[in-house]
Structure 1
Amino acid sequence: MKVFEKAPAKINLSLDVLHKRQDGYHEVEMIMTMVDLADRLEMRELPRDTIIISSQVGYIPVDEKNLAFQAARLIKEKYDVRKGVYIHLDKKIPVAAGLAGGSSDAAATLRGLNRLWGLGLTVRELMELGEKLGSDVPFCVRGGTALATGRGEKLQPLPSPPQGWVILAKPPINVSTADIYGRLRADQIDRHPSIPDMIRALREGDFAGICSSLGNVLEDVTLQVYPEVLRLKQCMQKLGADGVLMSGSGPTVFGLVAKQAKALKIYNGLRGFCNEVYAVRLLT
């Protein structure tokens, strides 16, 4: 038996950091949604009790450093599954890009193994498992659009954005989320995104309001360390995207575009500026 799971990328429409917590994590408020750029996972049972990961790309780990491996090991240990699994990752989401590709792979692994092994776990139970793997994993288990608080694991569902296009562009650098958060001084943030305005725009299906409410307090940190991200953002703005923001800790920059013709114009304009460019739909 084989099971297949899609693992979509996420973008942050809003990302605010309130303060650093006693446990070393940061207290955040984020609004996240998913886009139609996805990894695809194939899972099949093995006769011996082992976990094997493979991928068509050679730049990701396929051992215990891989979040899909960790997800498989976690669900096996938690529910005493004495079976093996082979997982093939068809990677499409750029790595270390601020798009939660690894977290989405882990979430897809949890969902897929729940089906493969007939465990009967609820979405809530899978989200609780995902929390042990990373702050973005519960959201990726659930999907859709949500306000995330705490470390990012507490989720409040929100309406998804209206139909529109997303241009994603990643410069040829990798950014460490831990490094960016380590450089952030939460008590010195002078501009916070308006979470209530973004929620209102989502509830009203107001695409222009969503674009005008975009905000990410990590941008200033990443742009100072990696000026190429700033140049990419400025380029996307000049090409006419309706709203432009860096996703997560970067370095991927996304542009929201209402009209397909403009989306294709921006996509073609960026192709000469950046190798990794994608034109995809918002998952509504």
Structure 2
Amino acid sequence: MSGRPIAETAYAKINLALHVRRRREDGYHDLETLFAFVDDGDRLTARPAERDEIMMRGEFAAQLDDPFGNIVAKALTLLPHGRGWAVELDKRLPVAAGLGGGSADAGAVFRMIEATRGLPDDWRARAAKLGADVPACVRSEACIGTGTGTDLASVANDLAGTPVLLVNPRIPLATGPVFKAWDGEDRGPLPEGNLRHIALAGRNDLEAPATAIAAPIAEVLDALRETGPWLARMSGSGATCFALYDDIAARDAAAARFAEVRSGWWQMTGVLR
């Protein structure tokens, strides 16, 4: 890295569809998911330093109580990047929210290192060590994930530019209990087709168990559906839900309504990448 700082956005991840196929003997689950990414999220800035340093600010920074044990620090230890980086993380995405916030932060670190030094050939394996969503978050492009979510296949993206509204009732929801509450029923594979068809014909198998644990998720989904999106669904293991609209005006009207009548809920607007 030169003396000038570099910056990167950690794009919010959403699962347009998430099919849980089976619980594996190793304790993980076989998944089929359609990843998509919003054009906004956490913000990272890095400067050269004598040693690695992590500084955090932003609305949700207080929820990350160990700056040197978080995923940004772990990503730095996995990749050669010079003597040291001083990284400032503006934590704008809620934690434990189904948006891959930590994975997105790690993905941003990978892209920053790629831009300055390049990535090693085995970067995908290194990314997978940090979490199942991290390989997808490195590229932050729409794709299909299988296995535990780390086996990725490209897909034609007909939804780029689609307006999206993210809403979270400010309830952190750990992934483990949601998977544990899944009923174990295989409801079938992802459908084939373009992104819009897969999203509409697909489902999120974790929506029911997550709602059983955190009832406000159902309230968020009902409120989103009242705003006229062509799709409203929970992302990942929750509790964030998303709504997709055909035009920005409809999205912004929905966001304004939420700000007025649900001011306690977190929200973010953007478009799909």
Q: Same fold (TM over 0.5)?
A: yes
Q: Separation in 1 of the partners of 2:90 and 2:128?
A: 24
Partner of 2:110: 110
SS in 1 for 2:130: coil
**1:223 is aligned with what amino acid?**
T
Select 2:125's aligned residue among 122, 128, 131.
128
**1:245 is aligned with what amino acid?**
R
Tell me how far 1:210 sits from its aligned partner.
Answer: 5.2
**1:67 is aligned with what amino acid?**
I
**1:72 is aligned with what amino acid?**
L
SS in 2 for 1:31: strand
Deviations 1:9-48 (A, max 9, x none): 111011011111121111111110111122221112212x
Partner of 2:191: 196
Partner of 1:275: 265
The percentage of counterpart residues that share the same residue type is: 30
Partner of 1:12: 15
Decide whether the 8 Å contact of 1:245 with 1:255 is kept in 2.
yes
Q: What is the correspondence of 1:19-98 to structure 2 with a 5 Å cutoff?
A: 19-47=22-50, 50-57=51-58, 58-59=61-62, 60-76=64-80, 83-98=83-98
Q: RMSD of aligned C-alpha atoms?
A: 1.9
Tell me how far 1:121 sits from its aligned partner.
Answer: 2.1
Q: Separation in 2 of the partners of 1:107 and 1:7?
A: 7
**1:40 is aligned with what amino acid?**
R
Q: What is the correspondence of 1:201-212 to structure 2 with a 5 Å cutoff?
A: 201-202=194-195, 207=196, 209=197, 212=200
Partner of 2:246: 258
Deviations 1:197-223 (A, max 9, x none): 4xx132xxxx4x355224100000011
Partner of 2:140: 143
Q: Normalized against structure 1, the TM-score is what?
A: 0.86
Decide whether the 8 Å contact of 1:211 with 1:256 is kept in 2.
no
Decide whether the 8 Å contact of 1:3 with 1:115 is kept in 2.
no
Q: Separation in 2 of the partners of 1:260 and 1:98?
A: 23
Deviations 1:62-101 (A, max 9, x none): 433310011111225xxxx672221111222222110011
Decide whether the 8 Å contact of 1:164 with 1:282 is kept in 2.
yes
Decide whether the 8 Å contact of 1:67 with 1:133 is kept in 2.
yes
Displacement over 6 Å in runs of 4+: none
Partner of 1:184: 182
The answer to whether structure 1 residue 243 and structure 2 residue 223 are counterparts is no
Q: What is the correspondence of 1:145-184 to structure 2 with a 5 Å cutoff?
A: 145-162=142-159, 163-184=161-182
Q: Separation in 1 of the partners of 2:138 and 2:179?
A: 24
**2:7 is aligned with what amino acid?**
F
SS in 1 for 2:93: coil
Runs of 5+ consecutive residues of structure 2 not aligned to the other structure = none
Decide whether the 8 Å contact of 2:191 with 2:202 is kept in 1.
no
Tell me how far 1:264 sits from its aligned partner.
Answer: 1.6
Q: Normalized against structure 2, the TM-score is what?
A: 0.90
Q: Separation in 1 of the partners of 2:21 and 2:190?
A: 12
Tell me how far 1:238 sits from its aligned partner.
Answer: 1.6
Partner of 1:101: 101
**1:56 is aligned with what amino acid?**
R
